[in-house]
Amino acid sequence: MKPNAFKADIDDSDLLEKSMSEIASAIADPSRVSILCALMDGRAWTATELSSVANIAASTASAHLAKLLNSQLITCLSQGRHRYYRLAGVDIATLLETLMGVSMKTQKGCVTKTPVHLRKARTCYDHLAGEVAVAMYEFMDKEGWFLPEGGALSPIGMAKFQEIGVEIIPHTKRKSVCTCLDWSERRFHLGGSTGAALLVTFDQKGWIARTAGYREVTFTDAGIKALGRLFRLSLK
């Protein structure tokens, strides 16, 4: 290896380590964690809304948002006089969900303290999470809706999703089917573009109701019937 190439490798390594430490620093604050968790519902929030959920002053929230923006963990959208903040992408949501799972594991004798309504059903950025989502994934996996090697729907799964009315967008850069570790249930739920499309369909059909400003999801009467018919699930 040429000396200059070796130096380039060292420089790249130093740059990666510096970037990782900057991201870790951006997350390492309870108020910023509260902001990031609020944005996990996949929607855009104003600074005022985020300051309220983090229980901090508006000026303090602005400083925290600036750090999150500089670390490219969030993005800012301007619409008229208002500015809205949201997560920078699904990769950031996945990072946060993974961090939640790791954090739960480090607690000795951990008993989940996740509120019951959030544990039952919530959004994980752009797909469903929680007890119901985990049960749905386990049913789909058992019934052969996914290819054995993973990553995509099987012919059975494609037919079932068409029956539900889910519009699958082919040839996207995002992985079609991927497992996402549910931090409250410690089991997998469905992520990827297929998981996102499923949430959109549930929303459009009126099977779920969202609580404004929160990740909580509740199932309507029609949604409860659909869960029983399509996934053999009974909500108690």
Is residue 84 domain-shared with residue 148, that is, in the same domain?
no
Q: What is the reported pTM?
A: 0.64
d(CA 67, CA 46): 16
The residue among 176 and 107 whose pLDDT is bigger is 176
For a pLDDT cut of 70, what percent of the chain falls above it? 85
Range of the domain at 37: 3-88
Given a cut of 70, whether residue 34 has pLDDT beyond it is: yes
The reported pLDDT for the residue numbered 109 is: 46
Is residue 11 domain-shared with residue 95, that is, in the same domain?
no
Average pLDDT, the chain: 84
Is residue 118 domain-shared with residue 192, that is, in the same domain?
yes
User: What is the mean predicted confidence (pLDDT) over 167-172?
Assistant: 76
The residue among 31 and 213 whose pLDDT is bigger is 31
The residue among 1 and 232 whose pLDDT is bigger is 232
d(CA 150, CA 31): 37
Mention every residue, 6+ apart, whose C-beta is less than 8 A from residue 94: 125, 180, 191
Residue 87's nearest CA partner among 108, 69, 101 is: 69
> Is residue 116 domain-resident?
yes
Q: What is the CATH number of the domain that holds 61?
A: 1.10.10.10
Residue 94's nearest CA partner among 40, 44, 20, 24 is: 40
Is residue 111 domain-shared with residue 130, that is, in the same domain?
yes
Q: Which of 53, 73, 88 is at the close of a domain?
A: 88
Is residue 100 domain-shared with residue 78, that is, in the same domain?
no
Given a cut of 60, whether residue 101 has pLDDT beyond it is: yes
Total domains present in the chain:
2
Instruction: Give the range among 15-24, 100-109, 200-209 with minimum mean pLDDT.
Output: 100-109
Banded model confidence at residue 212, pLDDT cuts 50, 70, 90: low
Q: Which of 88, 110, 125 is at the close of a domain?
A: 88
> Is residue 64 domain-resident?
yes
Is residue 64 domain-shared with residue 150, that is, in the same domain?
no
Is residue 118 domain-shared with residue 151, that is, in the same domain?
yes
What are 71-100's pLDDT values in tens digits? 999 999 888 788 889 888 888 888 887 887
Q: Which of 30, 64, 88 is at the close of a domain?
A: 88
Amino acid at 13: S
Is residue 73 domain-shared with residue 170, that is, in the same domain?
no
The residue among 17 and 171 whose pLDDT is bigger is 17
> Is residue 44 domain-resident?
yes
Banded model confidence at residue 232, pLDDT cuts 50, 70, 90: very high
Is residue 45 domain-shared with residue 140, that is, in the same domain?
no
